[in-house]
C-alpha cells in the first residue's frame, strides 16, 4: 500500500497543473460529500463516494500498468464525467432535476469510448511487432464498434441492477400510447394500438391501488435513448478520427482525446 501511495504521489507530481487542480478540487468535493452522507447514515451514497475515489485512480493505473499516457483534455473529461455521473447524477439527483443530464453523459461516454477504442487500434497500427495495418476506415469502424460495445455492456449492467437489486437504473417513464401483439384477442402477430391512455390503475396483492397518469414504460425507451445518443457520440468521434488519419496536421486538435503509448526507453 505504501509503495502504491508513493507511486501515485509521484504520478500526480508529474501532472499538468490544470489536471491537478481539477483532480484535487473534485476529490475534495467527493470526500466532503462522503463525510456528509456518513453523518446522515446514507451508506449507499457513501459507497458511491468510495467508488468515485477508486475510479479517479484509473488514469494512474492506465499509465502505470499499460504504459499509456492520457492527454490532459481526456483526463480532465474523465474526471468530470465520473464526478457528474456518480456524485451529481446519483447523489445530488441531477438525473431527476435536469431531464437531459443522463442523455448528455451517455453522449459524452460514446465520444470518449470511441477515442479510447481509436487509440487502441492506432497503437497497434504503429507497433513494429504487428504485421498488418488497418486502413483509416477500418480504424474508425473498430473505434465505433468499441464504443457501442461499451454502451451495450453498461445497459446490461443497468438491466442486471434492476432485475437483481430492484434499483431502477433503466429509468421508467410515463407514456400515453402503446402497441402490443400481446393484447391481440386472436393471438395474431398484429399489434393492437391503444392511444390517448388517460391513466392506469395498478393493484398489489395487498389490494393497494396505485394510479399513474398514463402507462408505465419499464425502461425500454430509456435504454434505447441511451444507446442512440451513445451512437451519436461515437459517430462524432469516428468522423473526426477518420479526418485526422487522412490529414493529421489539419485535425491535430483531436489528439487531445487520443491516448498515446509511452515511448520505450532503452
pLDDT tens digits, 223-253: 999 999 999 999 999 999 999 999 999 999 9
The CA distance from 215 to 196, in Å, is 10
145-159 per-position pLDDT tens digit = 999 999 999 999 999
The CA distance from 147 to 115, in Å, is 8
Q: Sorting pLDDT into bands at 50, 70 and 90, what band is 130?
A: low
Same domain? 127 vs 86 = no
Decide if 264 is inside a domain.
Answer: no
Number of domains in the chain: 3
Where is average pLDDT lowest: 1-15, 136-150, 245-259? 1-15
> Nine-digit cell at 252?
491535430
Decide if 184 is inside a domain.
Answer: yes
Same domain? 166 vs 183 = no
Q: What is the pLDDT of residue 131?
A: 61
Task: Assess whether pLDDT exceeds 60 at residue 266.
Answer: no
Final residue before a domain boundary, out of 98, 133, 150: 98
Compute the residue count for the chain.
266
Decide if 188 is inside a domain.
Answer: yes
Q: What is the mean pLDDT of residues 104-126?
A: 91
Name the pTM for this structure: 0.87
Final residue before a domain boundary, out of 73, 98, 123: 98
Do 244 and 143 contact (CB within 8 A), yes or no?
no
Decide if 144 is inside a domain.
Answer: yes
Same domain? 150 vs 228 = yes
Decide if 265 is inside a domain.
Answer: no
Domain that holds residue 90: 1-98
According to DSSP, residue 86 is labeled I
| Helices 220-246 and 101-125, axial angle in degrees (round to 10) | 40
Same domain? 112 vs 40 = no
Indicate the burial class of 143 (C-beta count within 10 angstroms; 0-12, 13-18, 19 or more): buried
The CA distance from 262 to 265, in Å, is 9
43-72 per-position pLDDT tens digit = 989 999 999 999 999 988 888 888 888 999
Amino acid at each position: 500500500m505504501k509503495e502504491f501511495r508513493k507511486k501515485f504521489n509521484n504520478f500526480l507530481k508529474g501532472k499538468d497543473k490544470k489536471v491537478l487542480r481539477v483532480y484535487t478540487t473534485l476529490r475534495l468535493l467527493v470526500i466532503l460529500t462522503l463525510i456528509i452522507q456518513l453523518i446522515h447514515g446514507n451508506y449507499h451514497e457513501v459507497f458511491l463516494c468510495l467508488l468515485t475515489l477508486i475510479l479517479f485512480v484509473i488514469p494512474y493505473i492506465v499509465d502505470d500498468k499499460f504504459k499509456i499516457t492520457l492527454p490532459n483534455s481526456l483526463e480532465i473529461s474523465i474526471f468530470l464525467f465520473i464526478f457528474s455521473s456518480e456524485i451529481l447524477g446519483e447523489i445530488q439527483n441531477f438525473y431527476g432535476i435536469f431531464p437531459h443530464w443522463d442523455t448528455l453523459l451517455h453522449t459524452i461516454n460514446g465520444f470518449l469510448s470511441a477515442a479510447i477504442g481509436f487509440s487502441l487500434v492506432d497503437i497497434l497500427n504503429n507497433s513494429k511487432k504487428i504485421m498488418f495495418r488497418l486502413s483509416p476506415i477500418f480504424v474508425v469502424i473498430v473505434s465505433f464498434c468499441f464504443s457501442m460495445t461499451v454502451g451495450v455492456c453498461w445497459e446490461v449492467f443497468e438491466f442486471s441492477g434492476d432485475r437483481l437489486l430492484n434499483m431502477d437504473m433503466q429509468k421508467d417513464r410515463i407514456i400515453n400510447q402503446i402497441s402490443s401483439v400481446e393484447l391481440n384477442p386472436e393471438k395474431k402477430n398484429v399489434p393492437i394500438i391503444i392511444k390517448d391512455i388517460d391513466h392506469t390503475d395498478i393493484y398489489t396483492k395487498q389490494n393497494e391501488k396505485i394510479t399513474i397518469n398514463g402507462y408505465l414504460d419499464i425502461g425500454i425507451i430509456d435504454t434505447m435513448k441511451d444507446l442512440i445518443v451513445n451512437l451519436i457520440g461515437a459517430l462524432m468521434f469516428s468522423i473526426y478520427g477518420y479526418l485526422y488519419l487522412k490529414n493529421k496536421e489539419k485535425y491535430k486538435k483531436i489528439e487531445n482525446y487520443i491516448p498515446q503509448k509511452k515511448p520505450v526507453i532503452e
